[in-house]
Each structure stands twice: as C-alpha cells, then as structure tokens.
Amino acid sequence: MRITTEELRKATDALLSHLERSGHTTVEVDQDYYWSIAPEQRYDPYTEPKELSMGQLTDDWAEVSAVARGEKEPVGYGLVWLSSILRAVGEKHVG
C-alpha cells in the first residue's frame, strides 16, 4: 500500500469537516490512559502480544499542541501522538 501525504491531508480534512458539519467543533475526551502495543508486535497478526505498555492522551496532546503552537519542531513521531488523539475522538463520535 502506498499513500501520499496529499491523500492523507484530503482524508483528514474530509473527516474533520464531517465532525464540524455534525456540530462537533469541540470534543470532550474523557479517557486519559490507554494500552499500547510495541510496533513489532502490533503488526504481527500471528503472534499474540506479550508485552503491553501505557500511553497517555494528555501527554500526546501536549506534544501535538506544542508543535501546533510552534514551540516544538515537527517530527515524524508526532503522527503517532496525533493518531492516539484521533482514535479517541473517532471512538467517541462514530457516526
């Protein structure tokens, strides 16, 4: 599978626009901690993960929002932080 950044941008914009059209311009995220699986285990469907760690949405959001404010330089791993936030928002608003 090959995905361009343009396709990602268009898809993200379409999904966020859908939220806004649905009246969700602000999202209340109630949870904070979540289970995290190491990448080498996450993408191996033939082996049950043996080790879980914890992630924290407030930490992820602090990193992402610092990048958005220009206080931190963007890094590729920022997409991992953003993905946890987007997952929480998507799971809250499934319609």
List pLDDT tens digits, range 29-77.
999 999 999 999 999 999 999 999 999 999 999 999 999 999 999 999 9
Instruction: Write down the pLDDT at residue 93.
Output: 81
Task: Give the model's confidence band at 92: pLDDT under 50 very low, under 70 low, under 90 confident, else very high.
Answer: confident
DSSP state of 47: S
Cα 40 → chain centroid: 18
Question: Which residues, including other chains, have CB under 8 Å from residue 86's CB and lie 6 or more apart?
Answer: none
Phi/psi of residue 37, nearest 5 degrees: -115, 135
How many residues in total does the chain contain? 95
- Residue 53 DSSP SS3: strand
